[in-house]
Amino acid sequence: MGPVNVDPFDVGLGDLRDLRGARRVVRRARLAEALVADVDSRVPAGAEAEAEVLLEAFDGGVSVSGQVSSRWEGECRRCLCPVEGAVVTDVREIFRRGGSADEGTYPMTEDRVNLREMVLDSLFSALPVLPLCREDCLGICPRCGADRNVAPCDCRRADVDRRWTALDVLRAEGSGRLEEEPGETG
């Protein structure tokens, strides 16, 4: 018989289910598949996900609160350079026997809670949707493709849509707002 694969996010409740107490649980596991929230960000396959949570029993279920964390990677939305970081999110969830997403709870058995689905859901919702390599990233020039973070681009501004030229005239003449008509009071 080969080694038994034990899910590190599977938590035996032991005395917790009978005594209505609490205990601290730290569970770590490597993710088998990448967790992708967007084309631009993901928790890569093989990354370690961690749940540091407190389990508290109550009649009919278990409350789980704490933090879930992992590393993430992706591409900057402006310059397409690789970016990475840590994703840390707070969790407060309820596990019930017969629980379901429709009820807003996670399922549990009589004596076990599996945190895996909660961990994946939490990481998924906390991943950056539009990551940046840095707040002042200048991005790529749309005309020549140069990375403007590396060197300034010599391209002129994109051609202006001629339908907006009348507004450009107003901007050039003064403050950029229309003057009041004679006789009107503000």
Strand partners, 71: 86
Residues 159 and 82 in one domain: no
Residues 116 and 26 in one domain: yes
Residues 161 and 106 in one domain: no
Structural domain for 27, as ranges: 10-126
Residues 119 and 166 in one domain: no
Q: Residue 18: what pLDDT?
A: 53
Look at residue 1 and tell me if it is in a domain: no
Look at residue 5 and tell me if it is in a domain: no
Residues 115 and 151 in one domain: no
Look at residue 186 and tell me if it is in a domain: no
Q: Residue 163: what pLDDT?
A: 79
Q: Residue 88: what pLDDT?
A: 96
Residues 47 and 118 in one domain: yes
Global pTM value: 0.73
**Consecutive H or E run containing 158:** none
Residues 103 and 161 in one domain: no
Residues 144 and 113 in one domain: no
Percent of the chain with pLDDT over 70: 81
Look at residue 86 and tell me if it is in a domain: yes
What is the number of structural domains in the chain?
A: 2
Residues 98 and 150 in one domain: no
**Average pLDDT per consecutive 10 residues, the chain (186 residues; last block may be shorter):** 70 67 75 80 92 87 92 94 95 89 86 90 92 94 89 71 75 57 49
Which candidate, 68, 50, 67, 53, places its Cα nearest to that of 22?
53
Look at residue 87 and tell me if it is in a domain: yes
Residues 170 and 89 in one domain: no
Residues 101 and 161 in one domain: no
Beta strands in the chain (DSSP E): 10-12, 22-30, 35-38, 41-43, 48-58, 61-75, 82-97, 106-108, 112-114
- Exposure string of 11-50, with b = 16+ CB inside 10 Å and e = fewer, is bebeebbeeeeeeebebebebeeebebeebbbbbeebebb
Residue type present at position 67: Q
Residues 144 and 121 in one domain: no
What SS3 state is found at 59?
A: coil
Which candidate, 54, 177, 88, 77, places its Cα nearest to that of 134?
77
